[in-house]
């Protein structure tokens, strides 16, 4: 076993132990206080998020732009200081990592794997099966279902096995459901698909990923499925079926692209509860809270409303033993997908463009310190 893998397993084991401690407060008070271990887990005001999160036994993560990581010192310093989990925002998607049928572009993800190992972090993978950001050779290839099945199997086998022991968790399938809970029509599902009906294509992808790295945690990931609604109902039914039949699924990623309307938190709470009752982990994978930018800048009121949402969702994750990561989709408003996607919106992250912490940062830190 490689040193980095041993190190990763040790970090995970440490986090799991800490998480259990958090749950069993009586044990924590009686056993650990007596052992004097609490003194080793300080949470000073102003501590970086990663220190606060480690103390609570969860990962605190961010999507990463590898170009900014390389060229922007403020970005690199802030990411290194604050986070213990990173995920490539685009670099591991099918198009970027497999741009030609016979060519893979591993270098950006290899660099990130080295970065996390240098900085005692963990790396999440995103994503193996998606309708978006697929390469032209695939989209325009007029492949049969049998050929697509072989292409997807080979892609998953190649990418997952390359990072076995380095990427601890994968979003195996991303955004496969429509808002009404029906299956999205995609090249992998049914246009033309890989030749499997219903959620069987998703199951197949999980089985291929598990075969390629039996130790990786395998997630289904989606947006607007945080509260109980038709989409999250469909995901829950699939997850329950997979668990009942021994399909290798370990967790559900809740993307958490939110507005200041937030939750409703009670409904998100209920959804996390039913998923974790299945024995699944839940991770927030893409948290951001977009704001209207009427005059180019967020108002003080909107920043306060945003902080309230960040604090509430962080507290919600900490409430559930099997909610194991809070990851934002980037961390600085200098680089965010929001302005390019939602006209007149932005300022969605916890650091401003100059890498100064916003009220949202303080709200997450406060939740982690409780």
Which is catalytic among the residues 175, 203, 281, 350? Answer: 175
CA dist 43 and 98 (Å) reads 43
The least CB distance from residue 76 to ligand G3I, in Å, is 18
286 tagged catalytic:
yes
Burial of 289 (0-12, 13-18, 19+ CB in 10 A): buried
The least CB distance from residue 3 to ligand G3I, in Å, is 31
The least CB distance from residue 337 to ligand G3I, in Å, is 4
CA dist 17 and 56 (Å) reads 10
Nearest to ligand G3I of 174, 328 (CB atom): 174
Which is catalytic among the residues 87, 281, 286, 350? Answer: 286
29-to-24, 36, 311 alpha-carbon distances in Å: 9, 10, 25
Residues 82/332, Cβ–Cβ less than 8 Å: no
Residue entry with tokens 């998953």: 156
CA dist 233 and 240 (Å) reads 10
Nearest to ligand G3I of 51, 350 (CB atom): 350
The least CB distance from residue 64 to ligand G3I, in Å, is 11
Instruction: Give the footprint of ligand G3I on this chain (CB under 6 A).
Output: 89-90, 132-133, 174, 223, 255, 286, 337
Nearest to ligand G3I of 80, 90 (CB atom): 90
312 tagged catalytic:
no
Per DSSP bridges, beta strands 217-222 and 257-258 are unpaired
Nearest to ligand G3I of 68, 196 (CB atom): 68
Q: What are phi and psi of 257, to 5 degrees?
A: -85, 100
Of all residues in the shown chain, the one whose CB is closest to ligand G3I is 337
Which residues are tagged catalytic? Answer: 175, 286
């Amino acid at each position: 076993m490689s040193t980095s893998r041993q190190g990763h397993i040790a970090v995970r084991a440490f986090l799991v132990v800490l998480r259990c401690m958090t749950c069993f407060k009586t044990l924590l008070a009686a056993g650990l206080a007596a052992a004097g271990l609490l003194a080793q887990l300080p949470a000073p005001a102003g501590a970086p998020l990663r220190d606060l999160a480690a103390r609570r036994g969860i990962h605190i993560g961010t999507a990463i732009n590898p170009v900014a990581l390389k060229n922007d010192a403020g970005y690199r310093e802030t990411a290194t200081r604050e986070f213990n989990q990173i995920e490539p925002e685009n670099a591991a998607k099918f198009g970027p990592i497999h741009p030609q049928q016979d060519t893979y572009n591993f270098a950006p993800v290899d660099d990130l794997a080295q970065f996390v190992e240098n900085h005692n972090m963990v790396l999440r993978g995103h994503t193996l099966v998606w309708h978006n950001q697929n390469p032209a050779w695939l989209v325009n290839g007029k492949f049969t279902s049998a050929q697509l099945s072989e292409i997807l199997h080979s892609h998953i086998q190649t990418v997952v096995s390359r990072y076995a022991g380095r990427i601890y968790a994968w979003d195996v399938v991303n955004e496969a459901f429509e808002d009404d809970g029906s299956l999205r029509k995609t090249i992998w599902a049914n246009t033309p698909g890989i030749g499997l009906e219903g959620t069987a294509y998703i199951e197949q992808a999980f089985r291929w990923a598990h075969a390629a790295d039996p130790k990786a945690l395998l997630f289904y990931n989606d947006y607007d499925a945080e509260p109980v609604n038709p989409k999250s109902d469909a995901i829950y039914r699939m997850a329950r079926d997979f668990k009942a039949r021994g399909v290798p699924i370990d967790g559900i990623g809740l993307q958490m692209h939110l507005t200041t309307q937030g939750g409703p938190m009670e409904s998100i709470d209920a959804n996390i509860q039913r998923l974790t009752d299945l024995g699944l982990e839940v991770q927030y994978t893409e948290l951001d809270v977009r704001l209207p930018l009427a005059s180019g800048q967020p108002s003080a009121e909107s920043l306060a409303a945003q902080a309230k949402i960040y604090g509430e969702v962080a507290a919600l994750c900490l409430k559930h033993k099997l909610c194991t990561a809070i990851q934002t989709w980037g961390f600085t408003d200098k680089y965010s997908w929001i302005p390019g996607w939602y006209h007149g919106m932005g300022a969605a992250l916890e650091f401003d463009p100059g890498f100064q912490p916003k009220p949202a940062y303080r709200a997450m830190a406060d939740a982690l310190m409780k």
